[in-house]
Structure 1
Amino acid sequence: MITERSWGKRQFGHRTRLALTPAQVRVMDDQAHAARTTWNLLHDWWTMLSKDKRSLTAADAAIRQARKDLDWLAILPAQAAQAVLKTYVQAWRNCWDGHADAPNFKSRVRCVMSVDIPQGRDLNVVRVHRRWGMVNIPKAGRIRFRWTKDLPVGKRADKENRITGARLVKDALGWHIAFRIQTLQANPQPHRGVEVGIDAGVNLPLALSDGNHFDHGRPARLPDGAADRDKWLTPGEKTKLLHLEQRAAQRKSFHKRGERASNRLRNTYDQIKRLRATATRRAVDWQHKTTTEIAKQYSTVVVEQLTITNMVKSARGTLEEPGRNVAQKAGLNRSISQEAWGRTVTMLTYKLAQRGGTLVKVPAPGTSQRCSACGVTTPGNRKDQATFVCENFDCGFQANADWNAARNILHLYRIGHLAIPAAGRAVVGRARRVKPTAAW
């Protein structure tokens, strides 16, 4: 029997696509532009005033006055404008705490179009069909959305299980709504699965120390060694993307610097963005399914602590000291970025925690060059990208390079050799020290 102490609140998000009419799309675009302008006006007002005159009350009064003076700002709901102020103040707090840079101006081209709905009671979410639901968007009306997950609405909603708010976000595929959900769930029991080490690679996305692996069925690198930039697209989509990129380059040749891009060029860019967004959506879907399967099967997952930003740095060098194999390194950087190892680790962290498991990080140096059978470390052990052959004459161990690295990762955890967390961050996991095995 589960006691009252075994329950806890959980907050998570659920994102789904909206089905908007052309008129509703224009309304949502206008609200997003108004929210971005409100941020910029607030940023100018905040930075121009002296510190002794800055306050939430004065900022709120300034936003109310701006909505009265500028009629097109009033299309943004009042609660959404207050959410902009709350987000802006929190951005400064994150800057003062050293967690982020100072907030700055939001460009119309580079910023993400979004609108916040801070109160869940304004949404009035109902399910009307097996695959569709209806949500109320302030000043836009009732809008359909894809029902892909059971939400706490109607009789299932109460004080502990409810939708607390939402955020409208636009990408290349259209407008989406991200619900903020709060539920009361039983705290997970300790996971009874086994421990496993995981090595993230390019040729083999995820190699496990027990011999299993997870592959998305799309080669990260072509047979000739070149990087496949669009491995998540079908052959027909790749051909279409190539034609669109050629068309964009041809139309851009007639575009002068500083002039506004033509409608045809912008339309071509939009089509390219939609194909890129489709590839990203498929990659994220594969990562979600794969990490869920791993979290269900294993109790402790051990990964390397990788500094991905350093791994994808350019090898171009300088004029005095030019780099070597720049094109090959650029292809490898694209392959690493497409695998999105950091996103995989993030998914594993919270999915393991939901099921009573743990994610642990260990130092990365030497795991790919060390023999998991005898412990000899030498660069010559790696014969190529996928083959590991130990050069120790008394050993001669041969295996897949990624599987060998996964075994080394798990062994580092078992001997208690954990990665030191960065300053100001919590420890990801806690390892228990065990005696080394006979084979290294």
Structure 2
Amino acid sequence: MLNGIRCRAHPTTEQAKKLAQWIGCARLIYNAKVSEMQYFRTFSRKALGAGQAVIDQAYSQFKDAELTPFLSEVPSQILRNSAVQFMNGWQRFLKGLASPPTHKRKGERDSVHLTNELFRFVDEGLIEIGTKRFPVGTLRFTQHREITEPKSIIVSRKAGRWYVSFNFEDATLAPPRPRDEILADLSHLDEAQLTAMTWAGDRGVRDMLHGSDGQVFHLTVSAVAKNRRRELTKRRLQRRLARQQKGSRRRDKTKRRIAHISSGQAEVRRDFAHQTSRKLVDSPYQVFVFEDLKITNMTRRPKPKQDEATGEYLPNGAAAKAGLNRSILQSCWGNIVLYTHYKAERANKVTIKVHPHFSSQTCSQCGHTSSENRSGKQFSCTSCGFKADADANASAVLRARGAKHIIDGEWREQKAKKTVSFRKRGSERVPQNHVERPVALCAQISVKRGCPA
């Protein structure tokens, strides 16, 4: 079974310079193909009778001895792989799986795809990268498990840190059972048996995850202190950044320091999410239940409030909402569910999401729902008198909902209704009339992008 892995890489100064050049050339080809795609789509809409060009993965039109001589200083496989990546994104768009490919900006998605002609694993933690004509050298990386040599790797750079990621055949992993098959077996159990093997977690800001078994997951004291110190340093650098001149080297240096600090904070949160998900999956529970929270909607800024009489803008609580949004995003809500899902799948366990409506106001004993049941951290049912911690009660409610979700068969996917759609004239299709690429376009794209860095 295929397994993915990402390792920290430690290139030398000269190796980092060459890899940065490879990344820049790959980004140039990708962006040129995106510009070419946008041109032909616009051309097909405005000149319907002239036909439409076939969008493919050709890239030789962007290589020019005068305009782009730097493209001849890297292996041709780098350019080919970048064009293939664009074509894969374009095919996903045609199938309705994603939006059309967009331009990549320097510093956002810096990566280069290397196929097996460009690398070779020579020893544990060592990769020889390059060809005889374009050698990079032996790249050191932190190998923390046994691996088999993959067919391709991705070398990436983020906030000054280098990484090597790839997929490899892992003999220790067996193919997981289908999710529907596991849920079908669980649906035959009675509610008491299913509830006993179900775990539910209520996510919050103060306690990141409160389990139905009473266990509470949160960052360690040292991790919280480390991120707090980093936050103070980042704010100081952000104030400095606001005073610096745009385009200056000192401003770029400050931006890199801020990105490095933010990356370190994200690594702490990511490590917490991985450790938490591993503890959950290694437990004897078979089902893990979470609320189906719309985190993107929950962290939106509030709409402006305007006085109808005077037209003046009124306070809308944006500052307080910004603090709440920051706390939500720092609580790893999404990553905890994401990591638990794929790890549970490998262990032949399931993760389900249930609706979160009134989970903090519903009594887990009698089912009574009222806004008066909860007061801060305490839960006291006004109907039966049950008292408990509010998060513990909410997790118990979610566990009962998860068991009912499986027994009632709500996990079964509904069949989509058949619909008839009509393709508009000028939409994406391959006509018989083929339009050749204009040479001026290729030169314009190359000059506009310039030499990569």
Matched, 1:97 2:90: no
Give the drift of 1:408: 0.7
Shift of 1:95: 2.2
Q: Which has the larger radius of gyration?
A: 2
Q: Separation in 1 of the partners of 2:414 and 2:66?
A: 47
Q: After superposition, what is the alpha-carbon deviation per residue over 1:67-120, rounded to whole angstroms, capped at 9, x for unaligned?
A: 8962212334322222212221221222233332222222335x311101133x
Residue 336 of structure 2, aligned match among 331, 334, 344: 344
- The residue that corresponds to 1:287 in the other structure is 273
1:366 counterpart SS class: coil
Q: Evaluate the alpha carbon distance shift between residue 420 and residue 305 of structure 1 in structure 2; reply closer, same or farther with a 3 A threshold.
A: farther
Where does 1:31-430 land on structure 2 (aligned, <5 Å)?
A: 31-49=22-40, 52-56=52-56, 59-62=58-61, 65=63, 70-108=68-106, 111-119=108-116, 122-128=118-124, 133-138=125-130, 139=134, 140-152=136-148, 162-184=149-171, 185-187=173-175, 194-217=197-220, 231=224, 233-234=226-227, 236-249=229-242, 251-252=243-244, 255=245, 260-297=246-283, 298-320=285-307, 322=314, 324-384=316-376, 386-392=377-383, 395-416=384-405, 418=410
Quick one: distance in 2 between partners of 1:389 and 1:341?
Answer: 26
Query: Would you say the 8 A contact 2:22–2:78 is kept in 1?
Result: no
Runs (4+) of structure 1 moved beyond 4 Å?
65-69, 188-193, 320-323, 417-424
Kindly provide the amino acid, as one letter, of the partner of residue 105 in structure 1.
H
1:282 positional shift: 1.1
Looking at structure 2, the residues matched to 181 and 401 of structure 1 have their Cα atoms a distance apart, in angstroms, of 45
Answer yes or no: is the 8 Å Cα contact 2:9–2:162 preserved in 1.
Answer: yes
Does the 8 Å CA contact 1:126/1:135 hold for their aligned counterparts? yes
Amino acid at match of 1:389: S
Structure 1 residue 13, shift from structure 2 partner? 1.7
Query: CA–CA distance in 1 between the matches of 2:197 and 2:225?
Result: 32
Q: Which amino acid aligns with 2:265?
A: A
SS at match of 1:415: helix
For each residue in 1:184-243, what CA deviation from the matched residue of structure 2 results, as whole angstroms up to 9, or x when unmatched? 433458899921111111111111112122121359xxxxxxxxxx94735543443343
CA distance in 2, matches of 1:144, 1:283: 26
Where 1:198 maps in the other structure, the secondary structure is strand
- Equivalents in 2 of 1:333, 1:318: separation in Å? 19
Alignment RMSD, CA only? 2.9
What's the CA shift string for 1:324-374, capped at 9, x where partnerless?
332221111111112232222111111001111111111111111111111
Q: Which structure 1 residue ranges, 5 or more long, are not aligned?
A: 1-9, 153-161, 220-229, 425-440
Higher relative contact order (CA 8 A, sep 6+): 2
CA distance in 2, matches of 1:306, 1:419: 17
Counterpart amino acid of 2:210? A
Query: Counterpart of 1:98 in 2: which secondary structure?
Result: coil
CA deviation after TM superposition for structure 1 residue 33, in Å: 1.2
1:97–1:285 Cα change, 3 Å: same
Q: Which amino acid aligns with 2:139?
A: I
Report the TM-score, using the length of structure 1 for normalisation.
0.78
Q: How big is the shift at 1:266?
A: 1.6
Which amino acid counterpart does residue 95 of structure 1 have in structure 2? F
2: distance between equivalents of 1:327 and 1:397?
Answer: 37
Counterpart CA distance in 2 for 1:179 and 1:107 is 23
Q: What amino acid does structure 2 have at the position aligned with 1:117?
A: L
- Cα distance in 1 between the residues matched to 2:398 and 2:319: 30
Residues 92 and 232 of structure 1: is their aligned pair in 2 closer, same or farther, counting only changes over 3 Å? Answer: farther
- Separation of aligned partners in 1, 2:151 and 2:379: 52
Measured in 2, the distance between the counterparts of 1:90 and 1:141 equals 30
Q: Deviations over 1:282-320 (max 9, x none)?
A: 111111111011011121101111111111111242435
User: SS in structure 2 opposite 1:163?
Assistant: coil
CA drift at 1:172 = 0.9
Give the drift of 1:409.
Answer: 0.8
1:228-269 CA deviation, whole Å, 9 max, x = no partner? xx94735543443343233223x33xx3xxxx4211122122
- Equivalent residues of 2:230, 2:265 under 8 A apart: no
Any conservation in 2 of the 1:361–1:419 contact (CA below 8 Å)? Answer: no
For 1:27, the aligned partner's letter is K
Residue 135 of structure 1 aligns to a residue whose secondary structure is: strand
Distance 2:90 2:176 in 1: 36
SS of 1:105's partner is coil
**SS of alignment partner, residue 372 of structure 1:** coil
Contact 2:379 2:390 in 1 (8 A): yes
Residues 151 and 356 of structure 1: CA distance in aligned 2, closer, same or farther (over 3 Å): same
**Distance change >3 Å, CA 307–CA 236, structure 1 → 2:** closer
**CA distances 1:361-404 after superposition (whole Å, capped 9, x unpaired):** 111111111111111111222211x3222222xx2222222211
2:47 equivalent to 1:17: no
Unaligned runs of 5+ in 2: 45-50, 187-193, 308-312, 417-453
SS for the counterpart of 1:53 is coil
